[in-house]
Amino acid sequence: MPEIRVTPLGAGQDVGRSCILVSISGKNVMLDCGMHMGYNDDRRFPDFSYITQSGRLTDFLDCVIIRFIAGHFHLDHCGALPYFSEMVGYDGPIYMTHPTQAICPILLEDYRKIAVDKKGEANFFTSQMIKDCMKKVVAVHLHQTVQVPTADLPYESQASLERVNEKLWIRPKLVRTEQRGLLKTLATGVVDDELEIKAYYAGHVLGAAMFQIKVGSESVVYTGDYNMTPDRHLGAAWIDKCRPNLLITESTYATTIRDSKRCRERDFLKKVHETVERGGKVLIPVERMNLKVPIYFSTGLTEKANHYYKLFITWTNQKIRKTFVQRNMFEFKHIKAFDRTFADNPGPMVVFATPGMLHAGQSLQIFRKWAGNEKNMVIMPGYCVQGTVGHKILSGQRKLEMEGRQMLEVKMQVEYMSFSAHADAKGIMQLVGQAEPESVLLVHGEAKKMEFLRQKIEQEFRVSCYMPANGETVTLPTSPSIPVGISLGLLKREMVQGLLPEAKKPRLLHGTLIMKDSNFRLVSSEQALKELGLAEHQLRFTCRVHLQDTRKEQETALRVYSHLKSTLKDHCVQHLPDGSVTVESILIQAAAHSEDPSTKVLLVSWTYQDEELGSFLTALLKNGLPQAPS
């Protein structure tokens, strides 16, 4: 019995350290390879011993998919990648989008500097490990179907893989033969004919993609983080009605329904204005406010990320793409680069600084300087993982133990305004309805909120929904799906008769199933007879109905005709010269009873197409005929 198995190594009833193991028809895929931002020890990495405790990881994993890496510290999806590939020992392919591939090494090196050069942490990956890790990356285009190579392919042949995948992307009809032949010529491995992946636009951040993993007729869709609402720079997530066996979706905001973005922007500006008017400073840990005070953004990673938004302009929304030539929306003339010495300047100012959870970097440095002044304000614009400074102050803590056991008293105002690019509960439900999966599995969320969403999904969509904890395996048996081709003639006939199914209303299609050379086709019975050289035989079902009637058979048949004619307004009822009655393909004949002269026998027969009508008429006649006027 085919099955799909899913084991979260991270993000199971938890936010952070995303890492999901999926086994589908014997193929093993790891989705994301993140770290937990709330820990500074080995707990920040997923427990990779779940994959195997002996032997090479590459022998057990077919590929790793990193669905995005964004410029504002989404290390919870990618931070453990160099550790996994270079220190734990995985040398298979790593798939990601082109923007993710561009930003990835910059993000990882930035975090390495903070962890190693500034904090002095040991057992951490090096700059060279980041470079070696990136050599294993295969970049994919949106809507490109990529066949995953088998384990014996040398992944240093990156250019070869990209050329093959590019050929596949441009001309999908070349999938099987040409691609496999090219790979044999360009490298020593072969393409796996079964394991395929396909990327869909996810909104959220630059380079974010949802991935469909398919093996034969079995498929899983992994959303990672996504946003169903378009914002000022990116479009909304989109996926076709792919009907996967399983949809694995994030549930960060499982119980949240957000106000409109316009309302949130208005409230945000109001709070900023109120703070600067009283002489305070505003810190916004993130990534035209009509303010006459300085507005800064932290240089470094934010600046680099902004550069890549300009470079990958095709990933942005339609408005930005249309106006890009006349005006680059990513050039902010009213916002200046921030220097760390500016933090001590007198007077009000507004600073956008990374990272967003106040767990390290420039945002944390500024927070420590400004926290003691009640005139100041920090606005937290997104979700903060448990264990980070951002999570602590949003939970109401006002005395924090910092590095070196120093205590920091927080007197500044703390506000939370969700500008997070995650889907809210409404968006998650929208995506489930769009993809129409057989089952749903929730990850990347808090247990209590996930439970609420799980019940809502099961009630509304009538599908099973799971929410495993880290290390817990969910096993889903799957029914093999057999593709069947339908003849054009049969479809045209159904269209003429108005029997083609409407959206979300599947209907039975009557035809003859032909199997030839392991292929299945559904054709009309006439076409099947012609192709197979067979004579037609008509199968009819017959039922006997006894009626109390002393009249002659012809008179009984006439009474039956009159009764059905007045009862069945929407059907063609006919009285034939031989005395029989027809309703569509149904034939009704009256005969004398062999033993009882006062009883007549009605023989009712029909074809399989009119089974429903035949059963209805039989029941109707068993109730008897109306009394004739005397």
pLDDT bin (cut points 50, 70, 90) of residue 310 is low
The reply to whether 612 belongs to the active site is no
For residue 59, give Cα distances in angstroms to 52, 293, 473, 587.
9, 58, 20, 68
Cβ atoms 224, 210 nearer than 8 A: yes
Q: Which of the two residues, 171 and 474, has the higher pLDDT score? A: 474
For residue 347, give Cα distances in angstroms to 292, 374, 376, 528, 546.
12, 14, 11, 86, 101
Encode pLDDT of 114-132 as tens digits.
Answer: 888 877 888 889 999 999 9
Cβ atoms 588, 540 nearer than 8 A: no
Encode pLDDT of 212-228 as tens digits.
Answer: 999 988 999 998 777 77
What 393-400 contacts at long range (C-beta under 8 Å, 24+ apart), as own/partner pairs, is 393/358
Query: How crowded is residue 444: how many other Cβ atoms within 10 Å of its Cβ?
Result: 31
- Residue 487 to residue 78: CA distance in whole angstroms: 47
Residue 522 has pLDDT above 60, yes or no: yes
Q: At what angle do helices 158-170 and 177-186 cross, to 10 degrees?
A: 160
- Residue 156 to residue 132: CA distance in whole angstroms: 10
Residue 192 has pLDDT above 50, yes or no: no
Average pLDDT over residues 474-479: 91
> Model-level pTM?
0.64
For residue 211, give Cα distances in angstroms to 29, 64, 69, 124, 414.
12, 11, 14, 29, 37
Q: Identify the pLDDT of residue 243.
A: 92
Q: Which of these is catalytic: 196, 218, 250, 451?
A: 250
Helix, strand or coil, per DSSP, at residue 168? helix
pLDDT bin (cut points 50, 70, 90) of residue 266 is confident
Cβ atoms 185, 54 nearer than 8 A: no
Label residue 250 left, alpha or beta by phi (over 0 means left) and psi (-120 to 50 means alpha): beta
Residue spans of alpha helices (H) in 371-416:
389-394
- Residue 428 to residue 253: CA distance in whole angstroms: 9
Based on its alpha-carbon atoms, the radius of gyration of the chain, rounded to whole angstroms, reads: 34
pLDDT bin (cut points 50, 70, 90) of residue 169 is very low
Residue 455 has pLDDT above 90, yes or no: yes
Residue 74 has pLDDT above 90, yes or no: no
Label residue 494 left, alpha or beta by phi (over 0 means left) and psi (-120 to 50 means alpha): alpha
Average pLDDT over residues 510-533: 89
Token pair for 347: 């007077």
- Residue 614 to residue 557: CA distance in whole angstroms: 17
- Residue 287 to residue 232: CA distance in whole angstroms: 14
For residue 190, give Cα distances in angstroms to 80, 91, 147, 193, 458.
29, 16, 10, 9, 42
- In 159-310, where do the E strands start and end? 191-201, 209-215, 218-222, 246-250, 281-285, 295-298
Helix, strand or coil, per DSSP, at residue 553? helix
Q: Identify the pLDDT of residue 129.
A: 96
- Residue 418 to residue 284: CA distance in whole angstroms: 12
H or E element, residue 103: helix 98-112
Phi, psi for residue 602 in degrees, rounded to 5: -95, 120
For residue 274, give Cα distances in angstroms to 52, 229, 260, 267, 284.
56, 29, 22, 11, 15
pLDDT bin (cut points 50, 70, 90) of residue 375 is very high
Considering the chain, what is the average pLDDT of its residues?
81
- Residue 223 to residue 428: CA distance in whole angstroms: 10
- For the chain, the first-to-last Cα distance in angstroms comes to 69
Pairing, β 407-409 against β 586-592: unpaired
